[in-house]
Structure 1
Amino acid sequence: MDPTVESGGMQGDEVLGWGKSLPVPSVQEMVREDSQCVPERYIQEHKDRPVENEMCPTSIEIPVINFSLLVNGDDDERKKLHIACKEWGFFQITNHDVSEEVIKQMKAAVAAFFELPLEEKRKYAMAANDIHGYGQGYVVSEHQKLDWCDMMFLMTFPPKYKKMKYWPVMIPGFKEAVEQYSTEILKLAEEIFANISLLMGMDKDALKRLHGEMMKQGIRMNYYPNCSRPELVLGVSPHSDASSITLLIQDDDITGLQIRHEEGWVPVKPIPNAIVINIGDVIEGWSNGVYKSIEHRAVTNVTAARMSIATFVIPDDDVELGPVETMADDYNRPKMYKAIKYVDYLRHTLSNKMDGKANTELLKVKIESS
């Protein structure tokens, strides 16, 4: 069986999408057919492989924020959030309002999709001009190294942006689980925005307003098969997110996410029912670089497949990403980022392979050397 996921399976999308990705083989299917084979196209260059000596000491962990304290106005917890955003760009939140049952049902829905036969999953293959659906993202060349990952991407908010033909509604409970999770995660995002707004010297609704008429939300569902040679491959290549924030749930017992911190990589150890949050490129621009998006990647392992579910909160297409007034002044903190429309930035990122923080250079003001 040919494991390639063919794009263009869904016709009728004539409007220009945000970006597109070339069709590539299903990694899950390759592993099913030959669990020992690692094709050359997935073997990373030596400089990009996840080598042990690049890891930070195991005692270093990303900050953990008690969400219940944060939303009740606890000053110490808000200070912790400021440090987490400024020095790490990543944090985990506990005691949040997304119920354990909703998270469980969401994980089950995603697992049920990836358990479908390849022929069924192909019915939801990405269109030729967009990234909605099943396949792999950021594949812009027939020659680039590929990630050891299959993915499904769905827009979930606002309702007019949903493309229901990509939703596998034949899976019992899939639609209901995704919609309930999306609703609860959006409320959580709004609370995080309210607190970051205050930290940025604005009123609590400012970041929400900055997103435009209505915040958009997209969900990327990742499936990382086990790999016989995990030291040669990457589940997801190093990158920062073109979102304002990203909210992630991961498997409770498998560590795969790693973030760049100082000169090394820090594994993000799962905390059951915690949600991992990271600052995206949008807030880096709005905050004038005070809060930076952070390079992160995913690694694989020999023994078990891993799943993760990343929810991206993004602004309207025409929203500008330049620094807000409270984060810039001509004397102490000049503007380091340009005003650029979000849709232009998003299309730029999706037209390139994942490459660390390279995309954010488009946002930055070029300083003339004297």
Structure 2
Amino acid sequence: MGTISHEYDRNIEIKAFDETKLGVKGLAATGLTKVPSIFINHQEHNRNNKQHTPDSKSQFTIPTIDLAGIDIDSDKFKKVVDEIWDACKEWGFFQVINHGIPQEVLDGVMDGVRRFHEEDDEVKKQYYTRDITISSMRFAYFSNYYLFKGPVTNWRDTMWASMAPYPPQPEELPVACRDVLFEYAKHVTKVGHTLLEMISMGLGLNPTHLKDIDCAQELMLLGNYYPPCPEPDVAIGFSKHADNDVLTILIQDKQIGGLQVWHQNQWVDVPHVPGALVINTGDVLQASSSCYLLLNFRLYENGPG
């Protein structure tokens, strides 16, 4: 009976949290000093305490690859293809610098995401939904995609925008981030196409292979927001997971950080590199390439907000 009561109470708490449509930020704004029970997974917390502690003796460093000059120097292009392919095989993760996206665009989209999440509650509520699968939707806001299915609630809110293959009309996006989402989508699409071309070549295939099988067809932009947490040692910003896409191109917030990747049976911190993009090869890419050469399994998480 005790287990049934615990699960029942958890469901009630989750339902009440979801019905506020204010997410974790709304909860944090109440001034609470303790993390509610739905955000605590005691078994995982106890097991992961050592994993979340940076290992100063770790010999592993996620690869950082410089894309400068690849469009004018064929030898540099081939060298970078090899570097990217090695990183895909060994890590499933890497960072790229000199990727062509201006710093003001990176800063602009980060500011736009922050502006939306810090918008007036009534503005955000109109975008709140738990179902982002409806084909007509181009923008949504929610807290915890697997809120009712996951073992623990993450200390995180998310905004989501579908930018391709059917771009939204300007009025479908919130004013707070409208212009910067369109600008960033244009730039990041170009970077994504370049990376897919290089990965195709690393597989020994035609440079357009992954694009030809529609790996570049969709573009979804997600902006995660981690409000200040009263007990960061018991909450997690983003539970361990692998992405079910082709490529994830991530801007890591230097103020928060906390990104870790699973490599050779240990968590490795991903350091913030100014201007860098973190690249994660997703499950779809692994499935697409598995008949040629298996990519490294990717698992990563974010630390507490």
Q: TM-score range by the shorter chain?
A: 0.7 to 0.9
Question: What is the percentage of aligned positions where both structures have the same residue?
Answer: 27
Cα separation, 2, equivalents of 1:143 and 1:291: 27
TM-score for the superposition, normalised by structure 2:
0.83
Local SS of the residue matching 1:278: strand
- What is the CA-CA distance between 1:52 and the residue it aligns to? 2.7
Which residue identity does 1:52 align to in structure 2? K
Structure 1 residue 43 displacement after superposition: 0.5
Provide structure 2 residue ranges, at least 5 long, that are not aligned to the other structure. 1-14
Per the alignment, residue 34 of structure 1 pairs with 31
Q: 1:148 to 1:166 in 2, by over 3 A?
A: farther
Aligned-partner Cα distance in 1 for 2:220–2:86: 27
- The match for 1:245 among 247, 255, 258 is 247
Instruction: Tell whether 2:66 aligns with 1:66.
Output: yes
- Native 8 Å contact 2:128 2:142 kept in 1: yes
Q: 2:140 aligns with which of 110, 133, 144?
A: 133
Cα deviation 1:153-212 (Å, max 9, x = unaligned): 11011235x37675212x3xx221110100100000000011101011111111111116
What does residue range 266-345 of structure 1 map to in structure 2 within 5 Å? 266-288=268-290, 290-301=294-305
Aligned-residue CA RMSD (Å): 2.5
Could you tell me whether the CA contact under 8 Å between 2:41 and 2:151 is conserved in 1? no
The answer to whether the 8 A contact 1:283-1:292 is kept is no
Contact preservation (8 Å) 2:252, 2:272? yes
SS of residue in 1 equivalent to 2:220: strand
Aligned counterpart in structure 2 of residue 182 of structure 1, from 180, 185, 188: 185
Structure 2 partner of 1:121: 124
Seen in structure 2, the aligned counterparts of structure 1 residues 31 and 158 have a Cα distance that, compared at 3 Å, is: same
Matched, 1:156 2:163: yes
Structure 1 distance, partners of 2:38, 2:169, is 32
1:63-91 deviation line (CA, Å, top 9, x unaligned):
00011244544233322211110011110
Q: Residue 222 of structure 1 corresponds to which residue in structure 2? A: 224
Q: Distance in 2 between matches of 1:28 and 1:130?
A: 24
- Identify the residue that residue 4 of structure 2 maps to in structure 1: none
What per-residue deviation string (whole Å, max 9, x for no partner) do you get for residues 268-310 of structure 1? Answer: 1111111110100011111116213401111125xxxxxxxxx
**Structure 2 CA distance, aligned partners of 1:97 and 1:227?**
35
- When residues 107 and 69 of structure 1 are mapped into structure 2, their CA distance, relative to the original with a 3 A threshold, is same
Q: Structure 1 residues 193 and 263, CA, compared in 2 at 3 Å: closer, same or farther?
A: same
Q: Match for residue 108 of structure 1? A: 111
Which segment is superposed worse, 118-127 or 132-141? 132-141
Whether the 8 Å CA contact 2:197–2:207 is kept in 1: the answer is: yes
Q: C-alpha separation between the residues in 1 aligned to 2:33 and 2:232?
A: 11
Alignment correspondent of 2:235: 233
Q: Work out whether 1:147 is the aligned partner of 2:166.
A: no
- Give the CA deviation at 1:118: 1.9
How many aligned residue pairs are there?
279
Q: For 1:19-75, what per-residue CA distance to the aligned partner results, in whole angstroms no more than 9, with x for missing partners?
A: xxxx87611111111242200010023235641356554552200001124454423
Partner of 2:10: none
Identify if the C-alpha distance between structure 1 residues 235 and 186 changes in structure 2 by more than 3 Å, giving closer, same or farther. Answer: same
Give, in angstroms, the shift of residue 255 of structure 1. 2.1
Aligned mates of 1:166, 1:299 — CA distance in 2: 32
Q: In 2, Cα distance between the equivalents of 1:94 and 1:261? A: 22
